[in-house]
Amino acid sequence: MAGLRAVGTTLPIFGALFALVPASPSSAQPAPELIAVTPAVGLTAAPEPVESPSRSIGSPDRGRVRDAVELTSTAHLVVREGPRGARFGTAELVGLLHRAAARVATEHPGPRLLAGDLSAENGGRLRPHRSHRNGRDADVSFYLVDEAGQPIEAPRFVNLRRNGCGRIGEQRYCFDATRNWALAVALLADPVARVQYLLVTSYLRNRLLAEGERQGAPAELLERVRLATANHAGSRSHRSHFHVRIYCALDDRPECVDEPPYHAWYEGTPSPGAAAAVQRRARTNRAIRRRAARRAR
């Protein structure tokens, strides 16, 4: 990956300013000047130390995590009760969720952010997920409003339909565009963790982007949210929550393996194992398609 330059490891905020775009021919790469957007959206959280004891190893669908941090509930974030104990992530991911939830609560006070699965304490296979194996994936509920438009906390994830609403029993819940936009911005402007993507189904993504436009968000910020929420394998099924994936922390590489896309805000150099991981993934996908084709015959 010639053309990528490692950035300073001591000043994460400024890392975002000076990161270079990979010299790849991919037309999906945004212009380098987009990188300067991060400070403009108003970073308020104090940066955490870049060196963290947690280690994300391998790729999200074939990896594990060491010295993971447990996500715990706070005044702004509630961890869903579940039997699987999948509440562990890298220090960067857990810090990201706490910072983002706190920032949304400051800007738009209301119910807490509901977090679902992260990874198991040591990572590895976590059914029913294909990824969530190395502490860099988290499922978080959308913020919701009730029929009167008042923010409301749901006891679990709620599937939302094309009209932006869904139900648990008699209670109706709808997509809270204002707070979900604030969440997307908080995640993508984080001073420490670098978000690779937010999986969300296209009709809810449209509501999110429309809210950014309605608020007159800077074009660069809109573009960043557009790129991070662009259609990706698995986006369609995300009708009740965002799936947040972060890139490998600089101090976890090269054992931690990032796969494309490498957005303009990607810091440093992808691990040497990245190309092999992508090829392996392509082989697996081809095998899955072949099996499906054989069954269809």
Cα 77 to Cα 13: distance, rounded to the nearest angstrom? 24
Stretch that binds Zn ion, among 211-219, 239-247, 253-261, 286-294 (CB under 5 A): 239-247
Minimum CB distance to Zn ion, residue 119 (Å): 10
Q: Which residue is nearest to Zn ion (CB)?
A: 243
Beta carbon of residue 159, minimum distance to Zn ion (angstroms, whole number)? 14
Given the complex with Zn ion, which of 139 and 259 has the nearer CB atom?
Answer: 139
Query: Cα–Cα distance between 104 and 91 in angstroms, integer?
Result: 20
Give yes or no for residue 61 binding Zn ion (CB under 5 A).
Answer: no
> Please, what is the minimum distance in Å from the beta carbon of residue 132 to Zn ion?
6
- Radius of gyration of the chain from Cα atoms? 19
Q: Which is nearer to Zn ion, 21 or 241 (CB)?
A: 241
Closest CB to Zn ion among residues 233, 282 = 233
Give the side-chain half-sphere CA count within 13 A for 126: 32
Amino acid identity, position 44: T
Q: Which of 243, 245, 253, 263 binds Zn ion (CB under 5 A)?
A: 243
User: Applying CB under 5 A, does 136 fall inside the site for Zn ion?
Assistant: no
107 within 8 A of 138, measured Cβ to Cβ: no
DSSP characters over 112-176? PEEE---B-TTBS--TT-SS--SS-EEEEEPPEE-TTS-EE--SS-----TTSEEEETTEEEEE-
Contact between 238 and Zn ion by CB under 5 A: the answer reads no
CB 117 within 8 A of CB 86: yes
CB of 240 to Zn ion, least distance (A): 11
Q: Does 190 bind Zn ion (CB under 5 A)?
A: no
Cβ-based nearer residue to Zn ion, 15 or 89: 89
| Bridge partner residues of 245 (DSSP) | 137, 197
Q: Which two tokens stand for residue 186?
A: 């908080």
Nearer to Zn ion, 134 or 269 (CB): 134
Alpha-carbon dihedral angle through residues 279, 289, 201, 154, given to the nearest 10 degrees: -100
State yes or no: residue 80 binds Zn ion (CB under 5 A).
no
Residue number with CB closer to Zn ion (4 or 158): 158
Decide if 104 contacts 113 (C-beta within 8 A).
yes
Q: Which is nearer to Zn ion, 45 or 187 (CB)?
A: 187
Shortest Cβ 243–Zn ion spacing (Å): 4
Q: Residues 61, 92, 139, 267: which binds Zn ion (CB under 5 A)? A: 139
Q: Which residues bind Zn ion (CB under 5 A)?
A: 139, 243
